């Protein structure tokens, strides 16, 4: 059965045919690192994680890239308010992000490009747009001329009828009713200089617009044409529309071939909003005793293109479901054969295993239908339990036991909540939170070159058996036993 995705570009579910057989290039718009990610952001990254893992489950060689937006209107505003340089402001949020990704068990990407490290490429892309007559300068800033790109609007299908030729918008975010020429490059302002966010260009000093950043990071990592571009539904316009205009306008080639968008999350039936006081971070939830494995499970219960209602009751039910599946796998793995099986008996779980993996793959092949795939796993759990409850004269053979355990393991390479639950058995979430907080403080101390403070924190961690390993993406830790 072919793998199919709903492509926002065509508004159709289509067979996924990669550019190069057996390989897939995937880019997902990552976070703006001006705050810890909230649970709505994490749902988007989780959806991209399931996409990543399922392509690998299908045997594909995946290049998976998630960017970090570390220079834009929001990060500059934050750095200015705190009175620190931009990179000093964003680094703690980058550290927290990686901790969160680990806590939720999201598989590591192949690359996490940062916008500030790709500015020369952005300047080159803007030069190409000038050469093609699609960019123009106004007051030291550079804008994209949407009237020169006939494909403008093809992704979001915005209404272009009211567009005024030459009307411009400088902000990174704007509404659908405000379709205009957008900023590729913004002339330097005093506040940009104050936080060290100014680069020199042939048309004067300034900084990139948000949209050009993703065009350049994705093409630098995956080539001018690549397979899948993913992100939250709110990014369709203007962000992704503008990415297409810039990239295709400069290269004359198709940019991303499949566009996948994840829906929003609601909290207790309401939109998440600071004003409603219902914006939760992962740390908030863990402090309330919520297990990350329950969050993973709850996310799987809704299709990525449906809104998900996030509630504490839902998390409670998800936690119960995880415990049932986890306990069944344990029961099966610890089962010891009471007597030699009659080899003429059909190993009855073989059939159930085949059915479960078949139903799982059919559901996932259908635009990653995780809720139906989850139902297949739950049905399998019921069959394993009823098999273990009524062995009678037909004991489980070693092969039957192994085949059934493989179902849990294979499905969990995609779902991942059993692996997270395994870890939770060993480490209590309160302790995990305590460790994460200290690691952020330790990173902070090191950056200030306050090595005495960093050593005190290291000793505190060691006293509770925490072993820290420093990696390129920040520290990882385990509890020594």
Tokens representing 431 are 């302790």
Q: Is 29 in the site for Zn ion (CB under 5 A)?
A: yes
Binding part of the chain for Zn ion, among 26-34, 37-45, 343-351, 410-418 by CB under 5 A, reads 26-34
Name the DSSP letter for residue 237.
I
Based on CB atoms, which residue is closest to Zn ion, 214 or 286? 214
* CA 318 from centroid of its chain's CA atoms: 21
Residues 61-80 that bind Zn ion (CB under 5 A): none
Q: Which of 79, 135, 183, 214 binds Zn ion (CB under 5 A)?
A: 214
Based on CB atoms, which residue is closest to Zn ion, 37 or 319? 37
Binding part of the chain for Zn ion, among 16-24, 86-94, 211-219, 418-426 by CB under 5 A, reads 211-219
Q: Which residue has the tokens 């139903």?
A: 359
Question: How many residues form the binding site for Zn ion (CB under 5 A)?
Answer: 2
Based on CB atoms, which residue is closest to Zn ion, 186 or 387? 186
Based on CB atoms, which residue is closest to Zn ion, 241 or 263? 241
Give the three-class secondary structure for 462.
helix
Gap between the Cα atoms of 424 and 416, Å rounded: 13
Name the DSSP letter for residue 115.
G
Quickly count: other Cβ atoms within 10 Å of residue 175's Cβ: 10
Whose CA is closest to 213, among 183, 179, 188, 234?
Answer: 183
Measured between alpha carbons, how far is residue 184 from residues 171, 181, 201, 255 in Å? 10, 9, 12, 17
Name the E strands within 145-198.
168-169, 181-187
Gap between the Cα atoms of 276 and 279, Å rounded: 8
* In the complex, minimum distance from the CB of residue 422 to Zn ion, in angstroms, rounded to a whole number: 34
Based on CB atoms, which residue is closest to Zn ion, 225 or 378? 225
Q: Is 28 in the site for Zn ion (CB under 5 A)?
A: no
Binding part of the chain for Zn ion, among 23-31, 105-113, 171-179, 460-468 by CB under 5 A, reads 23-31
* In the complex, minimum distance from the CB of residue 217 to Zn ion, in angstroms, rounded to a whole number: 8
* In the complex, minimum distance from the CB of residue 239 to Zn ion, in angstroms, rounded to a whole number: 5
Gap between the Cα atoms of 275 and 16, Å rounded: 41
Name the DSSP letter for residue 240.
I
* In the complex, minimum distance from the CB of residue 63 to Zn ion, in angstroms, rounded to a whole number: 17
CB burial string 369-383: b at 16+ within 10 A, e below: bbeebbebbeebbeb
Gap between the Cα atoms of 330 and 120, Å rounded: 53
Binding part of the chain for Zn ion, among 21-29, 38-46, 126-134, 371-379 by CB under 5 A, reads 21-29
Q: Which residue has the tokens 């579910």?
A: 13
Based on CB atoms, which residue is closest to Zn ion, 219 or 300? 219
Based on CB atoms, which residue is closest to Zn ion, 62 or 214? 214
* In the complex, minimum distance from the CB of residue 29 to Zn ion, in angstroms, rounded to a whole number: 3
Q: Is 122 in the site for Zn ion (CB under 5 A)?
A: no
Based on CB atoms, which residue is closest to Zn ion, 35 or 468? 35
Task: Return residues touching Zn ion (CB under 5 A).
Answer: 29, 214
């Amino acid at each position: 059965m072919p793998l199919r995705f709903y492509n926002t570009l065509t508004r159709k579910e289509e067979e996924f045919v990669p550019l190069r057989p057996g390989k897939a290039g995937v880019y997902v718009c990552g976070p703006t690192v001006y705050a810890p990610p909230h649970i709505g952001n994490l749902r988007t990254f989780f959806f991209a994680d399931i996409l990543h893992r399922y392509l690998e489950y299908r045997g594909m060689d995946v290049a998976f890239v998630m960017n970090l937006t570390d220079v834009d209107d929001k990060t500059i505003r934050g750095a200015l308010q705190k009175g620190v340089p931009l990179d000093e402001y964003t680094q703690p949020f980058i550290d927290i992000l990686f901790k969160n990704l680990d806590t939720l068990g999201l598989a590591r990407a192949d690359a996490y490009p940062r916008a500030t490290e790709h500015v020369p490429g952005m300047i080159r892309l803007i030069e190409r747009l000038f050469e093609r007559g699609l960019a123009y300068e106004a007051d030291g800033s550079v804008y994209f001329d949407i009237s020169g790109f006939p494909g403008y609007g093809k992704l979001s299908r915005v209404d272009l009828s009211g567009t005024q030729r030459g009307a411009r918008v400088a902000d990174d975010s704007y509404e659908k009713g405000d379709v205009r020429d957008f900023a590729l490059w913004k002339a330097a302002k005093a506040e940009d200089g104050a936080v060290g966010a100014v680069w020199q260009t042939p048309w004067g000093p300034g900084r990139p617009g948000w949209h050009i950043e993703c065009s350049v990071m994705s093409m630098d990592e995956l080539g001018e044409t690549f397979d899948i571009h993913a992100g939250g539904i709110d990014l369709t316009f203007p962000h992704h529309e503008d990415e297409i205009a810039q990239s295709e306008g400069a290269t004359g080639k198709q940019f991303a071939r499949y566009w996948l968008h994840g829906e929003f999350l609601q909290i207790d039936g309401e939109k998440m909003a600071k004003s409603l006081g219902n914006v939760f971070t992962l740390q908030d939830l863990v402090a309330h005793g919520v297990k990350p494995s329950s969050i993973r499970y709850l996310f799987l219960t809704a299709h990525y293109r449906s809104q998900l209602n996030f509630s504490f009751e839902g998390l409670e039910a998800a936690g119960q479901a995880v415990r049932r599946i986890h306990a069944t796998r344990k029961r099966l793995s610890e089962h010891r054969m009471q007597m030699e099986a009659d080899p003429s008996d059909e190993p009855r779980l073989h059939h159930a295993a085949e059915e479960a993996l078949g139903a799982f793959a059919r559901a996932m092949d259908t635009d990653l239908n995780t809720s139906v795939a989850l139902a297949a796993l739950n049905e399998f759990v019921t069959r394993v339990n009823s098999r273990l409850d009524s062995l009678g004269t037909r004991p489980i053979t070693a092969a039957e036991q192994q085949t059934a355990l493989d179902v849990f393991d294979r499905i969990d390479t995609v779902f991942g909540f059993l692996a997270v639950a395994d870890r939770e058995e060993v480490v209590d979430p309160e302790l995990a939170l305590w460790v994460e907080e200290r690691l952020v403080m330790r990173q902070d101390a090191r950056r200030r070159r306050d090595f005495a403070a960093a050593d005190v924190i290291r000793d505190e961690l060691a006293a509770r058996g925490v072993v820290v390993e420093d990696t390129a993406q920040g520290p990882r830790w385990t509890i020594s036993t």
